[in-house]
Chain A
Amino acid sequence: DAGVTQSPTHLIKTRGQQVTLRCSPKSGHDTVSWYQQALGQGPQFIFQYYEEEERQRGNFPDRFSGHQFPNYSSELNVNALLLGDSALYLCASTSRGSTDTQYFGPGTRLTVL
């Protein structure tokens, strides 16, 4: 049973560009959350998707947007990249129909030059 998977593993972009990160939840999970972990910091909540809608949002600007597909997979889009967007982006999944905890993927490391 595959856990949470994310792609790509690493990504390098330049300022002003746009990026899309992808996440496939653990089998049986329907809720996906995204977190940003800057170097030396703990992960910060970006937003959560359930039933293809954004349900909660952390303190991130509108440049950060997302999408959830009918198969529960999710994308994180970041527009107009800034140097400060360089971070490890983590996806976590859970199931609203169970008492399961959140499972985290290995992350995508984004470097903005």
Chain B
Amino acid sequence: GEDVEQSLFLSVREGDSSVINCTYTDSSSTYLYWYKQEPGAGLQLLTYIFSNMDMKQDQRLTVLLNKKDKHLSLRIADTQTGDSAIYFCAEEPGGYQKVTFGTGTKLQVIP
């Protein structure tokens, strides 16, 4: 079955790095996503990684994928107060299938 799990809450100081972790169960997942959602807003796609990749870096964001352990992480370097939001990990098997989301990790950045 499909299940995506995340820790519920993370608090970091401004300027530190944040690492948000996620585990998934569907080994056929082709795309793995990180979305950001600010209060009262829709979903913003931050980045995604193909399942045949181990790492993807995009400016302050680094995604690491351990396919053997079905573990995905998002590292945000030099975390800013504007990064405070809920971050969702999500998986998609590919072939235009449904996207399965985790319950979200609330990131609180302390000035």
What would be 17 A-B contacts, judged by CB atoms less than 8 Å apart? A31-B96, A33-B98, A33-B99, A40-B103, A41-B104, A42-B104, A43-B43, A43-B101, A45-B98, A45-B99, A45-B100, A90-B42, A92-B99, A96-B96, A101-B45, A104-B35, A104-B42
B42 close to A41 (CB less than 8 A): no
The digit string for A1-41, where 1 denotes a CB below 8 A from any CB of B, is 00000000000000000000000000000010101000011
Q: Given A42-B103, A45-B99, A48-B98, output 19 extra A-B contacts at Cβ < 8 Å.
A: A31-B96, A33-B99, A40-B103, A41-B103, A42-B4, A42-B88, A43-B43, A43-B99, A44-B101, A45-B100, A48-B96, A58-B98, A88-B42, A92-B99, A94-B96, A101-B31, A104-B43, A104-B45, A105-B42
The digit string for B75-111, where 1 denotes a CB below 8 A from any CB of A, is 0000000000000101010001111111110000000
CA distance A96 to B41 in the complex (A): 27
* CB < 8 Å neighbour of B99 from A40, A102, A105, A107: A102
CA distance A89 to B4 in the complex (A): 20
Q: Hey, which chain B residues are within 8 Å of A77, CB to CB?
A: none
Residues of B at the A interface (CB closer than 8 Å) are 4, 31, 33, 35, 41-43, 45, 48, 88, 90, 92, 96-104
A106 close to B99 (CB less than 8 A): no
Give the size of the chain A interface in residues (CB under 8 angstroms): 26
Q: Hey, which chain B residues are within 8 Å of A58, CB to CB?
A: 98
CA distance A96 to B38 in the complex (A): 29
A106 close to B42 (CB less than 8 A): yes
Within 8 A of B (CB), among A53-105: 55-56, 58, 88, 90, 92, 94, 96, 101-105
Q: Hey, which chain A residues are within 8 Å of B88, CB to CB?
A: 42-43
- Residue among A33, A35, A42, A106 with the most chain B CB within 10 A? A42
